[in-house]
Amino acid sequence: MTAEWWRGAVIYQVYPRSFQDTNGDGVGDLPGIMRRLDHIASLGVDAIWLSPINQSPQADMGYDVSDYKEVDRLFGSLEDFDDLIKRAHALGLKVIIDQVISHSSDQHPWFRESKLNRTNAKADWYVWADPKKDGSPPNNWPSVFGGRAWEWNPSRGQYYFHNFLGSQPDLNFHNPDVQNALLDVLRFWLERGVDGFRLDTVNYYFHDKQLRNNPPAKRPKHLPYAVNPYDMQEHRYGKSQPENVEFLKRVRTLLDQFENRTTVGEIGDSHKGMQLMEEYTSGGDKLHMAYTFDMLGNEFTAAHFREKQRKFFAHAPNGWPCWAFSNHDVNRHVSRWSPYAADQRALSRQAAAMLLSFKGSICLYQGEELGLPEADLLYEELTDPPGIRFWPEYKGRDGCRTPIPWDEGEAPNGFSSGKPWLPVKPEHSTLNVAHQEADPASTLHFYRQMIAFRKVHPVLTDGDIEFFKVAEPLLAFRRFGSKSSNEALTCLFNLSPDPVTVTLTGAEGIAPLEISQGAEVKKNKLTLAGSGFAFLPTGEVTPSFGGRRK
């Protein structure tokens, strides 16, 4: 692969806990991932992204690191990791790993030392602040997981800041020693052969040194209060600070010392996310890619998908996005968008075709290739802290983290010989890999076909994109100008459960390409069934649709 292998790449996210267990403890592990690498490679993806595998008390499923240079024994060993890297590379797969450096576990030696007193060597490695005169926290910053973002420590007589759980104290990036220590962590893994990093909460690294109060978020009076008070503030000071740009330049300088490495930063900011994506990915001296939340919500309209892409490239013409429809933090998209679809299977195929035709790099979440819906768990089955705290209005993230169903038979369908850490529900069992392998018309086979289609048509990987002005529910755009091909494609998607008929100008009687679904052309009319889509082998055709449904 070239130095810019990541540009337009398809990345497969592995959630290690739920991929494959090999020792019977009910939790997935690195040998399990190695056992199933052939499945991932068979999809035709370019890389895998591993969610956290570092040593951790697992209070937040690995996003609370207690040793940045060690693999948690729950998943295996450093030797297992080295073996996984070698096997993945032999299969032509790059390996990206999660790095959670905005905060650590409270069990990390750095924090254990920092909390002892105000004079130790690590005293300024975390964000400490004196209480107000009445003993309350220094400001109004809330935690993402509920409650105040400040935890009292009697040893120092101060509060420490945590954006997430109280056991996840935020590191103080204003301290150069902290930055150097974390860059050393990244170097450790680069020297071990990883091909890049997914930087968790990349805009949370710095806080406002003055600890100013956040202003309230604007809320229309007719809407109820948010389930989580965190959403009632504009987070102007607890994250997304301007100093972050210079640190990201230091990260890029480090990566540029190694060949063909990449970074993708998770940017979570509802108020200025697009601005941060521009700042963090432009100029070629910071992040390679921005992982965006823009398509991880419930909205399923042509205007939404069109405008999010337009805005990104308008704000960051030299930046690069990494689009995703699902991940380990949100309900699976097959469930989120099912009200707009003819059926879930048709939606799964349409979503794959749509995502894999967008301009940018693409991230697929494990189980997406099976069309897995969100699992409906009982309260007593939950493990996710915010789900437990805000039940039942918010059920947490466990429903998208359940184990992969590999084989036929009773649950857990080949995932583990023991009791899985989360249950495999019946609706997932019926979608198991073995069954779909035997069915040429399955969602699994479609994903392989669509990824191969993307690679056969380079315009989908490195071409430009132009959107047509058509009415809902039609999303229509042209991909053109590939560096390696003069090809152009017209891509059309019916984002409704009802059929629509589109008038085509400039290409009468043209036949849709083989990857289409529910598409029929008669003279200059294209009819798309509910959840239908079509790729037309020309950039000359102009679709027109006024919003009337057939």
Q: May I ask the CATH class of domain 464-544?
A: mainly beta
Dist CA 11 CA 146 (whole Å): 32
> Which residues are registered as beta bridge partners of 504?
543
CB 47 within 8 A of CB 37: no
CB 325 within 8 A of CB 293: no
Which tokens sit at 102?
Answer: 């905005």
Dist CA 248 CA 285 (whole Å): 8
Q: Is the pLDDT of residue 235 over 70?
A: yes
Each domain of the chain, given as residue ranges in start order, spans 464-544
pLDDT value for 1: 55
pLDDT value for 268: 87
Percent of the chain with pLDDT over 70: 99
165: DSSP letter: -
Residue 68's CB is within 10 A of a number of other CB atoms, namely: 20
Residue 457's CB is within 10 A of a number of other CB atoms, namely: 21
Residue 458's CB is within 10 A of a number of other CB atoms, namely: 16
pLDDT value for 549: 43
Catalytic residues: 200, 266
Dist CA 79 CA 93 (whole Å): 19
Q: Of 538 and 150, which is predicted with more confidence? A: 150
pLDDT value for 220: 77
Residues 6+ apart with CB under 8 A from 204: 102, 103, 163, 170, 238, 239, 240, 268
What confidence category does residue 540 fall into, taking pLDDT thresholds of 50, 70 and 90? confident
Which tokens sit at 109?
Answer: 């030696």
Length of the chain: 550
64: DSSP letter: S
How confident is the model over 144-183, as pLDDT tens digits? 999 999 999 999 999 999 999 999 999 999 999 999 999 9
pLDDT value for 65: 98
